[in-house]
Amino acid sequence: MVNWSDTALHVVSGKGGSGKTTVAAALAINLARDGKRTLLMEVEGRQGIAQLFDTAPLPYEERRIAIAPGDGEVWAIAVDAEDALVDYLATFYNLGRAGSALRKMGAIDFATTLAPGLRDVLLTGKACELVRRKTKRTANAYDAVVIDAPPTGRIAQFLNVTAQVSSLAKTGPIHRHAEMVMGVISSPQTSVHLVTLLEEMPVQETIDGLYELQRVNLPAGAVFVNMTRNPILDQKQSAKVRKGTLAIKKISEAAIQAGIRQSADVLAAGLLQEANDHVLRADLEARERTRIDELNIPTITLPYLTRGIDLGSLYALAEVMYDEGVR
Amino acid sequence: MSAFKIDAPIFDIDTIVLNTNIHIIVCTGAGGVGKTTAAAALALRAAEHGRKVCVLTIDPARRLAQALGVETLDNTPRRVVGIEQREGSGSLDAMMLDMKRTFDEVVEAHSDPERAQQILENPFYQSLSSSFAGTQEYMAMEKLGQLHAQARSQGTWDLIVVDTPPSRSALDFLDAPARLGSFLDGKFIRILVAPARGASRGIGKLAAVGFGFFTSALSKILGSQVLNDVGAFVTAIDSTFGGFRERADATYALLKDSHTSFVVIAAPEPDALREASYFVERLHADSMPLAGLVLNRVQEVTLAAVSREQALAAVEVLELGDANQKCAAALLELHSERAAMVQRQQDVAARFTSAHPGVPVVTVVALPQDVHDLSGLRAIGELLAD
């Protein structure tokens, strides 16, 4: 059971291919349950959220993209650094129209390229602005903001914005802005979650990522163990597979009697091989699971969905999160 | 066992790995699909068949790096020990890219010691060389160019295999160097150095007014120190380098060479294959030589004749029976799950092959364990040449 009712900002990261966008989306649906409003934020310009929800590409503008069980609403926005800088200039310098003129010249792109730290502080800064609506209790506030963040290898750097801009600016507005952002990100209202698979490399990256987060004092939330398989064989059966003592002949005969149309030998060999593969893999997964458990951090286990990921499966995963006690 | 069904010409990597006309193989694809492992496996296979190979890896997993002997980041190719010669007398060297070191070396090679020192100490250069978006791609290209030149002049290697950085998009490997090059050579950065001159020349009066806004906004946000650092950096490199854009273009041309071959790696997942599609289209548009697609981690179904439906119907009958019948039910359920997964992977793969019918494909079965030794790499090499 994890109670995130006081968490206003969820940052979801993970190794490429681990399904972090899917997990972020399902989390946003789950947290929007029962009349709440959540916002899903994309920062990498991949339009992964739009693809998942099967909608048109997301603009730099909050849009409602889904409903959640019990009259909840999920909103989404795609934030890119250029838009965020124009936005920032407009807000703090009244540079509204000049900002977009600069953009046409390519100057905004230039500025964000010039200072890569600036790019990240603009992205996280936008998230913080959205989060702070909750504190200020404005009408357009969200109960939670979920960022589909950069991958594990880059997450600590992405969030540790003051360190990033300190090499750029030791005083001045961007420095103050970074400190405001850092104030939100390192506070208890933020949680950084890592998505992993039960495979060696993703688990190692998760361990390294958590260590990095700890090193820069950022609050780790939970590890989402994604795409896990059902333990179809029980312990006794698995042990027999390992020892090679499965009564495979009798088992195949039983299968044939139950209607499987295949010669006994072929069936026995095939079933045995599949059983061996499965147990081998399950044992490896168990080993990786132990490494995750040793981290002493809340874990949320999500199933592998055979049919692939579509809008329906996002709701299914949100349901699993609810059952796992994510509130 | 029935193999993964795929409707495409068969890709035999030996057609490039053992082809002495191929001097560069670039392995590319989305992150997390086994690119680094595939690159190492190709390189090992070539070396064990008599070629003199250098593999440039970008970010290998720790144990794979250990197996290749490249845990230390020293930017120099190291001889890999333990290769088994099948034919000829080949060799394998491996190195891991150190992007900062590579950049430093470029600076040192193109300026006198005093000026090099000045550049290396410049704060803007330091952030550029260590954390800039695109620097890793630029330096991977740069290193490839260097290794290629060394191979040419000294005959050190006859094949260079390159792994590409884990970028947001596989296309970044092709685009980022030129983008970074244009940025460093571009009009804005010039204007930062000499605003008045730049304003009167290239960009026009109206834009110059806008630019006044821009520099003042920029120095407000970033602080004038940053702009000074950038200015000092550009001035320092100006007289020494032939231009970043030109360097990037030179290596880019190398990639179009008929002695170069691209291998695209993907996993049977929609995102990875979408990336692969983009890349294949781009290679075609740029007339770059694509050898084929490696479809990694596919699941193969044994017992192809037993359909999912048949298995599930039997499960219903068996699951209430005795121990053997229950076990049969469990094994058939396993079979049906596996068959479903294979079906899904084949559907995803078919989307790619019907869009790109001419692209040769080789599939590699999902291995239960990560590869972290030479015999594992060798096994993958064999699967690829099947």
Question: pLDDT of B224-254, one tens digit each?
Answer: 777 788 888 887 776 666 667 777 788 888 8
Map residue B329 onto helix, strand or coil.
Answer: helix
Q: Collapse the DSSP code of A2 into the 3-class scheme (helix H, G, I; strand E, B; otherwise coil) and give the result.
A: strand
CA distances from A235 to A10, A34, A52, A232, A245 (A): 37, 39, 37, 10, 14
Instruction: Tell me if A140 is assigned to some domain.
Output: yes
User: In terms of CA atoms, which chain A residue is nearest residue B318?
Assistant: A258
Whether residue B116 is contained in a domain is answered as: yes
Position B150 in a domain: yes
Q: A315: which 2 tokens?
A: 């709701």
Q: Which residue of chain A comes nearest to B211, CA vs CA?
A: A102
Residue A63: beta bridge partners?
A76
Q: Chain A residue with minimal CA distance to B180? A: A113
Q: Does B214 sit within 8 Å of A247, measured CB to CB?
A: no
Instruction: Write the pLDDT tens digit of every residue in B183-202.
Output: 777 777 777 666 544 444 44
Give the span between the Cα atoms of B262 and A95, in whole angstroms: 47
Whole domain around residue A107: which residue ranges? 9-229+304-323
Q: Is residue B206 pLDDT above 60, yes or no? A: no
The reply to whether A23 and A170 lie within a common domain is yes
Task: Give mean pLDDT, residues A38-46.
Answer: 93
Is the model's pLDDT at A117 over the cut of 90? no
Contacting B residues, span 228-267, partner chain A, CB-CB under 8 Å: 230, 267
> Is it the case that residue B214 has pLDDT exceeding 80?
no
CB-nearest partner of B303 from A95, A237, A267: A267
Lowest mean pLDDT, pick from A38-52, A202-216, B52-66, B217-231: B217-231
What was the pLDDT predicted at A170? 67
**CATH code at A137?**
3.40.50.300
Question: Taking Cα atoms as reference points, which of B361, B385, B383, B351 lies closest to residue B8?
Answer: B361
- Contact A258/B328, CB-based, under 8 Å? yes
**Chain A residues touching B369 at Cβ < 8 A:** 200, 284
Mean pLDDT within A244-253: 96
Considering the domain architecture, whether residues A136 and A75 belong to the same structural domain is answered as yes
Tell me what pLDDT residue A255 has.
96
A139 and A13 housed in the same domain: yes
Check whether A224 has a pLDDT greater than 70: yes
Q: What is the pLDDT of residue B46?
A: 97
Pick the residue with more confidence: B222 or B269? B269
A26 and A97 both lie in a single domain = yes
Quote the CA–CA distance of A311 and A22 in Å, as a whole number. 10
Scan residues 340-379 of B and list those with Cβ closer than 8 Å to A.
Answer: 340-341, 344, 348, 368-370
Residues from chain A that touch B328, judged by Cβ atoms under 8 A, are 251-252, 254-255, 258, 271
Residue B338 belongs to a domain: no
Assigned domain for A4 exists: no
**CB–CB of B226 and A115 under 8 A?**
yes
- Is A129 found in the same domain as A246? no
Would B217 be classed as within a structural domain?
yes
Average pLDDT over residues B162-179: 79
Q: Specify the pLDDT at position B73.
A: 66
Tell if the CB–CB gap between B267 and A105 is shorter than 8 Å.
no
Same domain, A33 and A55: yes
Please determine, for residue A116, whether its predicted confidence score (pLDDT) is greater than 80.
Answer: no
Three-state DSSP at B50 gives: coil
Q: Is the pLDDT of residue B2 over 70?
A: no
State both tokens at A31: 């947290």
Residue pairs between chains A and B whose CB atoms are closer than 8 Å: 199
Helix and strand numbers, DSSP H then E, in chain B: 17, 8
pLDDT at B349 over 80: yes
Q: Which has the minimum average pLDDT: A257-266, B28-37, B43-52?
A: B28-37
**A124-133, B192-201, B362-371: least confident range:** B192-201
Q: Is there a contact between B123 and A106 if contact means CB atoms under 8 Å apart?
A: no
Average pLDDT over residues B8-16: 94
- Share above pLDDT 70 across residues of chain B, in percent, rounded to a whole number: 89
Q: Is B127 left (phi over 0), alpha (psi -120 to 50) or beta?
A: alpha
Residues 6+ apart with CB under 8 A from A287: none
CB contact under 8 A, A237 and B330: yes
Whether residues B331 and A275 touch (CB distance < 8 A) is answered with yes
Is A81 a domain residue? yes
Same domain, A116 and A175: yes
For residue B210, give how far its alpha carbon lies from the nearest alpha carbon of chain A (Å).
Answer: 7
Asked if A280 reaches chain B (Cβ–Cβ under 8 Å), the answer is: yes
Rounded CA-CA distance B338/B304 in Å is 10
Mean pLDDT, range B83-108, rounded to an integer: 90
Residue B211: what pLDDT? 62
Q: Give the containing element (helix H, strand E) for B178.
A: helix B172-185
> What does each C-alpha distance from B242 to A252, B113, B245, B247 come to in angstroms?
73, 17, 9, 7
Q: What are phi and psi of A220, to 5 degrees?
A: -75, 135
pLDDT of residue B31: 77
Q: In DSSP terms, which residues pair with B56 in a beta bridge?
A: B95, B162
List Cβ neighbours of A83 (8 Å cut-off, separation of 6 or more).
A60
Number of Cβ atoms within 10 Å of the Cβ of B86: 12
Q: Does residue B9 form part of some domain? A: no
Q: Report yes or no: A99 and A79 within 8 Å, Cβ to Cβ.
A: no
pLDDT of A105 strictly over 80 = no
**Rg value, chain B, Cα:** 26
Q: What is the mean pLDDT of residues B74-92?
A: 89
Is the residue at B361 inside a domain?
Answer: yes
DSSP string, B258-321: TTEEEEEEE-SSHHHHHHHHHHHHHHHHTT--EEEEEEEEE---S-TTS-HHHHHHHHHHHTTS
Is pLDDT at A324 greater than 70 in this prediction?
yes
Tell me: do A67 and A189 sit in the same domain. yes
How many domains does chain B divide into? 1
Cβ contacts (< 8 Å) between B131 and chain A: which residues?
A: 116-117, 157
Report pLDDT for A272: 95
| Token couple for B365 | 């079965």
Assess if residue A289 is contained within a domain.
Answer: no
For residues B284 and B356, the answer to whether their CB atoms sit within 8 Å is no
Partner-chain contact B306 A111, CB within 8 Å? no
**What pLDDT is recorded for position B125?**
87
**Are A242 and A100 members of one domain?**
no
A297 within some domain: no
Residue A186 within a domain: yes
Residue A84 within a domain? yes
The 10 Å Cβ neighbour count of residue B134 is 22
Task: Report the pLDDT value the prediction gives residue B320, as an integer from 0 to 100.
Answer: 92
State which H helix or E strand residue A201 sits in: helix A200-215
Residue A133 corresponds to which tokens in the numbers above?
A: 């609506």
ipTM over cut 0.90: no
What's the whole-number average pLDDT of chain A?
Answer: 90
Residues of B whose CB is below 8 A from A17: 30-33, 267, 269, 271-272
Q: Specify the CATH number for the domain of residue B281.
A: 3.40.50.300
pLDDT tens-digit readout, A58-69: 999 999 999 999
Give per-residue pLDDT as tens, A251-287.
999 999 999 999 999 999 999 999 999 999 999 999 9
| Candidates B131, B330, B370; nearest CB to A200 | B370
Q: Mean of the pLDDT values across residues B79-106?
A: 90
Give residue B184's domain range.
Answer: 14-302+346-384
User: CA-to-CA distance for A233 and B79, rounded, in angstroms?
Assistant: 46
Cβ(B55)–Cβ(B43) below 8 Å: yes
Q: Is the pLDDT of residue A305 over 90?
A: no
Whether residue A288 lies inside any domain: the answer is no
Q: How many domains does chain A have?
A: 2
